[in-house]
Homo-oligomer: A and B are copies of this chain.
Amino acid sequence: MKYNFGAGPCILPQEVFKQAAEAVLNFENTGLSILEISHRAPEFDAIMDEGIALVKELLNVPEGYSVLFLHGGASLQFSMLPANLLAEGQTAVYVDSGTWASKAMKEAKLYGNVEVIASSKDANYSYIPKDYEVPADAAYLHVTSNNTIFGTELHEFPKSPVPLVSDMSSDIMSRQINVADFGLIYAGAQKNIGPAGVALVIVKDELIGKSGRKLPSMLDYKIHADNKSLYNTPPVFSIYASVLTLRWLKAKGGIAQIEKENIAKAEALYAEIDNNPLFKGTCAVEDRSRMNVTFVTVNPDHEKPFLDLAKKKNLVGIKGHRSVGGFRASIYNALPIESVNELIATMREFAASQS
């Protein structure tokens, strides 16, 4: 038994692993593997319909939005977003809250003007920038709702006079949001949606096809929306395993329920970080992420021995990203509270061993 705190690709529900493995041998009693069925088969068409419907139901997506399952991960969305929504000469405004926000900006600059209206770079992205004015003539405002590397999360989305776009790769489906407040939401699947190899996009239809730009078909939201994400052969297995994960989320009570569990897990772990004299958090308390919990040892000499102990206890994936150092425990939807408790017990055992 391993406790997988990896930042992504990451733990998914155990029953999803079982069901996905079964489908690789025999997909829903077709006598065929999910790996060998046509994406045009009625059985897969039903899976695509179910995936779209589950996203709409779980997130309460209002009328007028398209739900897309696309190739290329969130990194391709960094380019597709401005290619589709930022016309030549227009300006998009970005909040620079970490590495991924910076990468998103870099790609947008190929398509138009990019204005950084707020940044926490000065403090190694240890807080979420707030209190900025959004120019009313911008094409859109881009925020990153959760900063996987730095362990901060946007707990309250800004009011915006222009379409609000959020990269929600690492906290989508973990919290209730009001989709109507957004122009576009995108997320790589490989945290709370499913395995790597697919990205989810939720886009307000009225924003599509307005950039006046001739786009490669694969980068054109309109083509994917018109073809129900079946313009070309989609990543069949990744979509199927995502649907299994969304079914699991619905069955356990949906996002209201998982949000409660996520709050409980995060509170327990942050309490230990704050109370254990050997550890401390790395972020502004009010901006702490419920998905990626970053912390360090107060004494740098404790870092290696704690990592060794964690390894011995089968806690995997908790080494921090090199940009922050220390530790990062990713506690996504599918991570059970038992894993958090095991980490807490290990931190206590470590403190006891050092006193």
Binding site for B on A (CB under 8 A): 1-2, 4, 6-12, 16-18, 20-22, 24-25, 30-33, 35-39, 71-76, 78-79, 83, 103, 106-107, 110, 188, 190, 194-198, 214-219, 231-238, 241, 314, 316-317
Contact = CB atoms under 8 A, between A and B. Distances in A.
B197 A236 contact: yes
Copies in the complex: 2
Contacts of A8: 38, 233
Contacts of A18: 25
A252 to B, nearest CB: 18
A10 B31 contact: no
A79 B217 CA distance: 8
B32 A197 contact: no
A233 B196 contact: yes
A209 to B, nearest CB: 16
A20 B20 CA distance: 10
For the complex of A and B, 6 pairs with smallest distance between CB atoms: A197-B235, A79-B216, A75-B232, A21-B24, A35-B195, A71-B72
Contacts of A35: 9, 12, 16-17, 20, 194-195, 241
A6 B196 contact: no
25 contacts: A1-B31, A2-B32, A4-B32, A9-B39, A9-B233, A9-B236, A12-B35, A17-B33, A17-B35, A20-B24, A20-B35, A35-B194, A39-B196, A72-B76, A73-B232, A75-B218, A76-B216, A76-B232, A78-B216, A78-B217, A78-B218, A107-B216, A110-B215, A197-B238, A238-B238
Nearest to A80: B216
Contacts of A30: 2
Contacts of A11: 36
A7 B237 contact: no
Contacts of A217: 75, 78-79, 103, 106-107
Nearest to A23: B21
A188 B75 contact: no
A300 to B, nearest CB: 23
A196 B237 contact: yes
A36 B21 contact: no
A269 to B, nearest CB: 20
Contacts of A238: 197, 235, 237-238
B75 A196 contact: no
A330 B31 CA distance: 18
Contacts of A188: 233
Contacts of A316: 32
A176 to B, nearest CB: 25
Nearest to A236: B196
Given A71-B197, A190-B233, A218-B76, A317 B9 contact: no
Contacts of A78: 216-218
A229 B14 CA distance: 29
